[in-house]
Amino acid sequence: MLDLPQPYLLFLADVAERGYAKTAFGLRDWAAERCIGEYALPGGLSLDLPRFSPREAYAAGARALVIGVANPGGVISPAWLPALLDALEAGLDLIGGMHAKLNEIPDLAAAAARLGRRLIDVRTPPPDIPIASGKKRAGKRLLTVGTDCALGKKYTALALVRAFAARGVDATFRASGQTGIMIAGGGMPMDAVVADFAAGAAEMLSPDNDPDHWDVIEGQGSLFHPAYAGVSLALLHGSQPDVIVLCHDPSRAVTLGFPGYPLPDLHEAIDLTLRLGARTNAAIRCAGVSLNTSQLSEAEAARAIARVSATLGLPVADPIRGGPVFEALVDACLTAESSYERAAS
């Protein structure tokens, strides 16, 4: 578990694409009690939280500035440095989840040492990760998978854990990315693990447990992503899920940041995931689909959910909208029968 100074000021930098601010949105939506407000540079988007300068945020009680950005490559732009240095001067520690490490930026390291501030990089794997064994572990596991990045795998996992708990089911959210780790207070930054050890890291993330305990594992990337499929496959093999829930954004036609790559057909996405997942768990099944309908009206969302459910013969829901369709998806996750195989037959 991580010792993170709280509450947070969420730094949006100059990011205009919502998908690249998923860390800030995730903390706002799932750890709102820890978020004082937001701080953006010109051109940056808004979370509709109170806007503060670092000094104003510190006076309001904030104790850390969190870089709320998850951009391609996980880079920290030189244009952000004045704002980050200002936060240190204002009394805030810095928390980052980028591939670029705060501690490896000389100006930040020097300022933190001079001021007695902490630079906390959460995207740092633990030492001595083993190579995957492929051995079956006790307990039950659910993995959220996706047709793309940044479309709801983390939100779906968190919503399912909350729904399981409401039914008295023992369940744990297992974070596999920087945002989930900040929400949960611990986890495994899968995309920062050396490739040979990635499946082993996924095994560490969801160890042996009681037979009736569920690990609900946050998915990463997509098996269809031209850049990030590797981490998705390692997580699939290492987590050995009994159940998958496919996450999809019906308003998105192409891969985020890769316009030449259309998103896969949902049948194809489920079939490929089940075929590859069966390598380490022959009993893997698909319980249903989680649709991110945030860009749709309520009526449009209802039609999209009904259409996809009819096409696949599976429960389909938007976990954030909830309702009876989401309860049906939860039912399908907890049942022992493979609803997708039943529908396909």
Question: pLDDT tens digits for 174-233?
Answer: 999 999 999 999 999 999 999 999 999 999 999 999 999 999 999 999 999 999 999 999
Q: Residue 90 pLDDT > 60, yes or no?
A: yes
Confidence of residue 330 (pLDDT cuts 50, 70, 90): very high
Confidence of residue 342 (pLDDT cuts 50, 70, 90): very low
User: Would you call 282 helix, strand, or coil by DSSP?
Assistant: coil
Structure tokens at 255: 């891969």
Q: Region 151-170: what's the mean pLDDT? A: 97
CA-nearest of 26, 17, 16, 18 to 8 is: 26
Q: Residue 16 pLDDT > 50, yes or no?
A: yes
- DSSP conformation letters of 123-184: --PPS-PPPP-----SSEEEEEEESSSSSSHHHHHHHHHHHHHHTT--EEEE--SHHHHHHH
- What is the C-alpha to C-alpha distance for residues 219 and 18, in angstroms, rounded to an integer? 19
> What pLDDT does 3 receive?
87
- What is the C-alpha to C-alpha distance for residues 42 and 16, in angstroms, rounded to an integer? 10
Q: Give the number of other Cβ atoms within 10 Å of residue 55's Cβ.
A: 15
Q: Region 97-103: what's the mean pLDDT? A: 93
CA-nearest of 165, 162, 221 to 190 is: 221
> What pLDDT does 345 receive?
40
Q: Region 80-85: what's the mean pLDDT? A: 97
pTM to 2 decimal places: 0.91
> What pLDDT does 72 receive?
83
Q: Region 224-251: what's the mean pLDDT? A: 97
> What pLDDT does 341 receive?
53
Structure tokens at 27: 């903390």
Beta-strand runs (E) in 223-275: 243-248, 254-255, 258-262
> What pLDDT does 19 receive?
85
Angle at 164 between CA 324 and CA 234, to 5 degrees: 110
Beta carbons of 8 and 27 less than 8 angstroms apart: yes
Q: Residue 60 pLDDT > 50, yes or no?
A: yes
> How high does pLDDT run on average in the chain?
95
Q: Residue 1 pLDDT > 90, yes or no?
A: no
Looking at the chain, the whole-number percentage of residues with pLDDT higher than 70 is 97
Beta bridge partners of 65: 9, 94
Q: What radius of gyration do the chain's Cα atoms show? A: 20
- Write the pLDDT tens digit of every residue in 265-303: 999 999 999 999 999 999 999 999 999 999 999 999 999
- What is the C-alpha to C-alpha distance for residues 294 and 72, in angstroms, rounded to an integer? 22
Instruction: List domains and CATH numbers for the chain.
Output: 8-121 (3.40.50.720), 140-344 (3.40.50.300)
Structure tokens at 226: 């031209």
> What pLDDT does 2 receive?
84
Q: Rounded to an integer, what is the distance from CA 49 to the centroid of its chain?
A: 21
Q: Residue 120 pLDDT > 60, yes or no?
A: yes
> What pLDDT does 338 receive?
54
Q: Residue 234 pLDDT > 60, yes or no?
A: yes
- Write the pLDDT tens digit of every residue in 25-56: 999 999 999 999 999 999 999 999 999 999 99
Q: Region 86-108: what's the mean pLDDT? A: 96
